[in-house]
Chains A and B, each alone.
Chain A
Amino acid sequence: MNPLLILLIIPLLTIVGVALVNDVTKVRLVSAIGMSAQLVFAFILLYLFYQQRNAGNTDEMLFVSTTMWYESFNIQLKFGIDGISMAMIMLTAIVTFAGIFASWQVDHLPKEFFISLIILAGGVFGFFISLDLFTMFLFYEMAVIPMYLLIGLWGSGPKEYSAMKLTLMLMGGSALLLVGLLGIYFNSAPDGGRLTYDLTEIAKVNIPLDAQLFFFPFTFIGFGVLGALFPFHTWSPDGHASAPTAVSMLHAGVLMKLGGYGAFRVAMYLLPEAAHELAWIFIILTSISVVYGAFGAIWQKDLKYINAYSSVSHCGLVLFALLMMNETATTGAIMQMISHGLMTALFFALIGMIYGRTHTRIINEMGGLMKVIPFLSVIYVIAGLASLGLPGLSGFVAEMTIFVGAFQHTDMFHRVATIVAISSIVITAVYILRVVGTLLLGPITNSHYLELKDAQWFEKISGVTLVVAIAIIGLTPFWLSDLIREPLAQMIQTLTN
């Protein structure tokens, strides 16, 4: 059996398990065991992956299996992974694992909550292992739909409005995406022959230029909406602000990465000539995103809004780097996805934990938390330092790879866009240190905070897992960089020819 299927079977079994038990503790326990198993399996898969590569298997995709699903439209269940998807699977497994522990205290309909959460995660895993555009889209929708329920039922604040807004905007993106995907499908056999959804097959054919130019914006923007592409990012602040902790973590940590991943693997890789022709428009939009998000974050007062705008800035950098279309920048983009996924998940986890104690997310209403909840505060500082790109943590290596890659373009347009993007490192420092200074340092503003309790064991598991992952990437970046770079050499060649 294809080992990749286990990535889908474990969540499925966990859902069944959760459905069968009744008591809250057991629901938590089953979910935790399931997602721990998933994390362990992700590591085993990484080991198997290296084993194959070391044994000299140079196939583009490993663990490929194909099953015909719907003969008349040539829809297949085709699975397989390369280094990039491997890295994304690791990210998803880590964030999901941390997310389960961060939502340990959900007591309103816990069973339904954990089931929805695991369906979401399962959809993401399915997306990253799919090699067929149709099944990929299916898994994509599977990940987006539970979001509506999760925010609408377990959210806070104007949750119905936010849930509706987020779902509708993402659905709008899906609609564009569907047009794009169908466009690719109907042009997948320009010289006659069978139409196909198979990603690796389409990559080999030359889709006519006019079709590429027409469908590229649909596909790229369709994925871009999910990747918080300016100006289609406004679902993100409201959605995150209302979403429960684990949902924000999974959403910003993993789901937004589907956008960047899809924009590269589907939009750019399958429609390379259009990507070249139209890149300049999106380079402008994304370099705006990078500084715009950062400036937006400076003014916000709600922790979740700050982090949402910060995500707009960091995810903007991902798309920006992808559009640079060279090996180094693209490696950086994928590393930035991983790094941002871990960082932002950590931020949202911490924000949830702090909110659970102080019952506010407005930074000016809090102060001096370092003294009362040192563990959470120190982790918050580490997350902040990772976000502003401190060497030794993951953000630095990703950003530097992007900047060096982007600098390989010598023309004025790319140079200016790159310098605009690089300048965000200063603005990021401003808003991060502002939050750290107001929220954690200084005197304690509310005497009532003296009774707050520091992190509990499940919160520690959640936080420490993510910090360790961030530090490992930051301290030993070469393995991640190599893992990602390996499939890129060939992909970039397709893109540039």
Chain B
Amino acid sequence: MNYSYTILILLLPILIFLFIGVMGDKMKPQLSGLLGTSGLLVITLLSYFTAFNYFGHRVGESFQAIEAFQLLWLQFTDSLIIHIGILLDPLSVMMLVVITTVSLMVHIYSLGYMKGEKGFARYYAFLSLFTFSMLGLVLATNIFQMYIFWELVGVSSYLLIGFYYERPSAVAAAKKAFIVTRFADLGFLLGILILSFYTNTFDFIALTDLNGLAITQPTTAMFMGLSVTTWAMLLIFMGGAGKSAMFPVHTWLPDAMEGPTPVSALIHAATMVVAGVYLVARLFPLYSYTSPDSLEVIAYIGSFTSLFAAVIACTQLDIKRVLAFSTLSQIGYMMVALGVSGYGTEGLGYMASLFHLFTHAFFKALLFLGAGSVIHAVHSNLMTDMGGLKKYMPITHITFLIACLTIAGIPPLSGFFSKDEILVAAFEHNKIIFAVQWLVAGITAFYMFRLYFNIFWNHTPEYHHAPHESPATMTIPLIFLAIASVFSGFVPFHDLVTSDGNLLHTEFHWMIAGPSIFIAIVGISVAYVLYAKKNSKPESLATSLKGLYTMAYHKFYIDEVYLFITHKVIFNFISRPVAWFDRHIVDGTMNLIGNTTVYFSGAIKKMQSGHMQWYIWYFTSGVLLLVFLVMYLN
């Protein structure tokens, strides 16, 4: 099978970006939207075609990695070379399908949602740039190519968060997102440098080859009690944690909701934020064989983040922020699954993590697009301004309900299957983590239905004008994604995407599934009691949990801590003194030298007075002095 046509999957979006970017002002806005969308449709069909072919042709028992395209881009040393290429393996092909599907839905949805916005063409140009970067990231053949596209994804995210650039909060959020992830990327870059220095390669196939030097002969160098490889793998994970908004570098994601809602669905729910999970999965053999300690760290960070974010999500009033914290929590699940996983036949967690990534992309995109549809109708992000919408917006209501049931883990919807696999993997590895994840499943069901009831049930506020259902361009993607959310759980993931490319045998455990369904129903029931009708119970509950509630409402004050560090410490205690030191000490010294010279020349300038009698006087005294010296010193 020849896959060289896959280069089109990368080329088309960048060409569309350049075309709309340069020509956008001269075209009708709708035309640029249609161009972007139809281009993406072609890319999506190409991706499906690729997936169909790839998963249809296995070599013997397993799937092989194929380098469909390879171009030398920059050579550092004899062995450290950056190629720009396309790597096809089960992981990247799966990601290809996810990204193009969600991106296509968002493109179509935005035709309606963004209609009449200023900068419509610019919006589609940026969407194409993002799609290009994200596809380049998942198709990368080597870690440096991944880093390149990683940065490009970051800048597309910056541009899209700051899309409403006249709004100061959007500008601030975009800046924050870029700088926080940039800080994490510093770790990623250092990790790449260390790893490549010791393994002498950037190439993924070489790095993750079980018989390759990177795995069979990892460096024995130690630094501060940990092996250098573990340092490298942890630093690389730091980059992943930044993009995937793991605690403590998660603060940018809730703020990123300042961007247009379809962007939140695409970038900050389904694709870019799972890049960290993808990164760990991509290097998984290396993590598993050379640095199990870092997997342990990943599991704990993931688990903590999922609990932490779920608690915050219960208190937020902005519906997009609830969804943002829910995203953090769900990515936490994926990280946990990778962290508890082994390789090969032990690789249940790996499979479960990517399975959850797959299903989450659909139901979370659906939730965001549904939220967008609601926001479009009531012109507010706050759930206090909403209520009783089920009779006004039937399609949005039904699809949103499906998404809520899916994320809550109600069978036979897709979220149930993927979350169940994660719980099984966690149970086999670490009982504490399992308990936390089980609890988080309940909290998830609670806050999602708190959201659902507050938007669609509860009391109906007085709307300025009656909310109405969104246009077909917006509801069709909702329906499509709802269908995907329902059925994507039946994709035989254990047969397609596994850590070693071989079939993984999995069993269904009622022992795990039973309690998880139970706690989900408990969560939904509690939400029903509190929020289905307007009553005073939520407030009295908040009052009785006052301390915890306030802390969670303020997101545990992490933002304030960062603000203190950046503004007080870096600005006032480093940058300002540096600027002062430079002006007054360094430059002061230079000026001092200059002024001293001027002073001394001032002192002797009187000698050049122009008066002949003084010159004769100097001359005569000089001669006399010399004569005197010559006579007496001899």
A interface residues (Cβ-Cβ under 8 A, vs B): 165, 168-169, 230-231, 233-235, 238, 292, 295-296, 298-300, 327-328, 368, 370-371, 385, 389-392, 396-397, 400-401, 403-405, 407-408, 410, 419, 422-423, 425-426, 429-430, 433-434, 437, 440-444, 477-478, 481-482, 485
Q: Is the CB of B576 within 8 A of A328?
A: no
User: A169, A422, A426, A441: which contacts B166 (Cβ < 8 A)?
Assistant: A441
| Known A-B contacts A368-B166, A407-B197, A408-B197; A396 and B151 likewise in contact (beta carbons under 8 Å) | yes
| Known A-B contacts A299-B576, A441-B166; A404 and B190 likewise in contact (beta carbons under 8 Å) | no
Let me know if B351 is at the binding interface, CB within 8 A.
no
| Known A-B contacts A296-B578, A478-B74; A404 and B182 likewise in contact (beta carbons under 8 Å) | no
Q: Is the CB of B151 within 8 A of A299?
A: no
> Chain A residue with minimal CB distance to B81?
A478
A contact residues around B175 at 8 Å (CB)? 433-434, 437
Q: How far is the CA of A123 from the CA of B74 in the complex (A)?
A: 33
| Known A-B contacts A299-B579, A425-B186, A433-B179; A442 and B151 likewise in contact (beta carbons under 8 Å) | no
Q: How far is the CB of A250 from chain B (nearest CB, A)?
A: 23
Interface size on B, residues (CB 8 A): 49
Q: How far is the CA of A231 from the CA of B183 in the complex (A)?
A: 28
Q: Is the CB of A401 within 8 A of B74?
A: yes
Q: How far is the CA of A359 from the CA of B428 in the complex (A)?
A: 68
In terms of DSSP, what is the predominant structure of the interface of chain B? helix
B interface residues (Cβ-Cβ under 8 A, vs A): 72-77, 80, 144, 147-149, 151-152, 155, 158, 162, 165-168, 171-172, 174-175, 178-179, 182-183, 185-186, 189-190, 193-194, 196-197, 570-571, 574-576, 578-579, 582, 586-587, 589-590, 594
Q: How far is the CA of A125 from the CA of B168 in the complex (A)?
A: 46
> Chain A residue with minimal CB distance to B25?
A374
| Known A-B contacts A405-B76, A408-B77; A430 and B179 likewise in contact (beta carbons under 8 Å) | yes
Q: How many A-B residue pairs have CB under 8 A?
A: 123
Residue with the highest number of chain B CB atoms closer than 10 Å, among A231, A295, A408: A295
Q: How far is the CA of A422 from the CA of B579 in the complex (A)?
A: 21
Q: How far is the CA of A300 from the CA of B171 in the complex (A)?
A: 20
Q: How far is the CB of B156 from chain A (nearest CB, A)?
A: 11
A contact residues around B594 at 8 Å (CB)? 165, 168
| Known A-B contacts A405-B76, A441-B171, A477-B74; A391 and B190 likewise in contact (beta carbons under 8 Å) | no
Residue with the highest number of chain B CB atoms closer than 10 Å, among A168, A408, A410, A430: A430
| Known A-B contacts A392-B152, A433-B179, A441-B165; A328 and B76 likewise in contact (beta carbons under 8 Å) | yes
Q: How far is the CB of A412 from chain B (nearest CB, A)?
A: 10
| Known A-B contacts A296-B578, A296-B579; A443 and B183 likewise in contact (beta carbons under 8 Å) | no
Q: Is the CB of B189 within 8 A of A425?
A: yes
Q: Is the CB of B77 within 8 A of A328?
A: yes
> Could you list 22 examples of A-B contacts with CB < 8 Å?
A231-B586, A234-B586, A235-B590, A292-B582, A295-B578, A300-B579, A389-B151, A390-B151, A390-B152, A390-B155, A391-B148, A392-B152, A407-B193, A408-B197, A419-B190, A425-B186, A426-B179, A426-B186, A433-B178, A434-B175, A478-B72, A478-B75
Q: How far is the CA of A419 from the CA of B73 in the complex (A)?
A: 25
B contact residues around A426 at 8 Å (CB)? 179, 182-183, 186
Q: How far is the CA of A328 from the CA of B571 in the complex (A)?
A: 35
Q: Is the CB of A429 within 8 A of B166?
A: no
Q: How far is the CB of B200 from chain A (nearest CB, A)?
A: 11
Q: How far is the CA of A327 from the CA of B80 in the complex (A)?
A: 13
> Chain B residue with minimal CB distance to A368?
B166
Q: Is the CB of A429 within 8 A of B182?
A: yes
Q: How far is the CA of A97 from the CA of B131 in the complex (A)?
A: 36
Q: How far is the CA of A371 from the CA of B162 in the complex (A)?
A: 14
Q: How far is the CA of A425 from the CA of B186 in the complex (A)?
A: 7
A contact residues around B158 at 8 Å (CB)? 433
| Known A-B contacts A296-B582, A437-B175; A397 and B74 likewise in contact (beta carbons under 8 Å) | yes
> Chain B residue with minimal CB distance to A433?
B175
B contact residues around A430 at 8 Å (CB)? 179
Q: Is the CB of A478 within 8 A of B73?
A: yes
Q: How far is the CB of A197 from chain B (nearest CB, A)?
A: 31
Q: How far is the CB of A305 from chain B (nearest CB, A)?
A: 9
In terms of DSSP, what is the predominant structure of the interface of chain A? helix
A contact residues around B576 at 8 Å (CB)? 299
Q: How far is the CA of A410 from the CA of B219 in the complex (A)?
A: 13
Q: Is the CB of B574 within 8 A of A295?
A: yes
B contact residues around A478 at 8 Å (CB)? 72-75
User: A295, A396, A400, A441: which contacts B162 (Cβ < 8 A)?
Assistant: A441
User: A230, A408, A437: which contacts B171 (Cβ < 8 A)?
Assistant: A437
> Chain B residue with minimal CB distance to A388?
B182
B contact residues around A440 at 8 Å (CB)? 165
Q: How far is the CB of B574 from chain A (nearest CB, A)?
A: 6
> Chain A residue with minimal CB distance to B578?
A295
Residue with the highest number of chain B CB atoms closer than 10 Å, among A165, A396, A404, A425: A404
| Known A-B contacts A396-B151, A425-B186; A295 and B575 likewise in contact (beta carbons under 8 Å) | yes
Q: Is the CB of B178 within 8 A of A429?
A: yes
A contact residues around B167 at 8 Å (CB)? 442
A contact residues around B144 at 8 Å (CB)? 400
B contact residues around A400 at 8 Å (CB)? 74, 76, 144
Q: How far is the CA of A407 from the CA of B235 in the complex (A)?
A: 15
B contact residues around A443 at 8 Å (CB)? 166, 168
Q: How far is the CA of A123 from the CA of B541 in the complex (A)?
A: 78
Q: How far is the CA of A485 from the CA of B77 in the complex (A)?
A: 10
> Chain B residue with minimal CB distance to A332?
B76
A contact residues around B574 at 8 Å (CB)? 295
Q: How far is the CA of A238 from the CA of B72 in the complex (A)?
A: 43
Q: How far is the CB of A353 from chain B (nearest CB, A)?
A: 20
Q: Is the CB of B582 within 8 A of A234?
A: yes
Q: A298-B575, A426-B182, A437-B174 are in contact. List 10 more A-B contacts (CB 8 A).
A: A231-B589, A238-B587, A390-B155, A391-B151, A391-B152, A404-B77, A407-B197, A408-B77, A422-B186, A441-B162
Q: How far is the CA of A230 from the CA of B589 in the complex (A)?
A: 13
**Closest 5 CB pairs between A and B?**
A299-B579, A234-B587, A391-B148, A298-B575, A441-B165
Q: Is the CB of B586 within 8 A of A481?
A: no
Q: How far is the CB of B281 from chain A (nearest CB, A)?
A: 22
Q: How far is the CB of B553 from chain A (nearest CB, A)?
A: 28
Q: How far is the CA of A410 from the CA of B198 in the complex (A)?
A: 10
Q: How far is the CA of A75 from the CA of B539 in the complex (A)?
A: 91
Q: Is the CB of B166 within 8 A of A292?
A: no
Q: How far is the CB of B205 from chain A (nearest CB, A)?
A: 20
Q: How far is the CA of A233 from the CA of B585 in the complex (A)?
A: 12
Q: How far is the CA of A461 from the CA of B164 in the complex (A)?
A: 29
Residue with the highest number of chain B CB atoms closer than 10 Å, among A292, A385, A433, A443: A433
Q: How far is the CB of B106 from chain A (nearest CB, A)?
A: 23
A contact residues around B196 at 8 Å (CB)? 404
Q: Is the CB of B590 within 8 A of A165?
A: yes
Q: How far is the CB of A425 from chain B (nearest CB, A)?
A: 6
| Known A-B contacts A234-B590, A408-B197, A433-B178; A423 and B571 likewise in contact (beta carbons under 8 Å) | no
A contact residues around B166 at 8 Å (CB)? 368, 371, 441-444
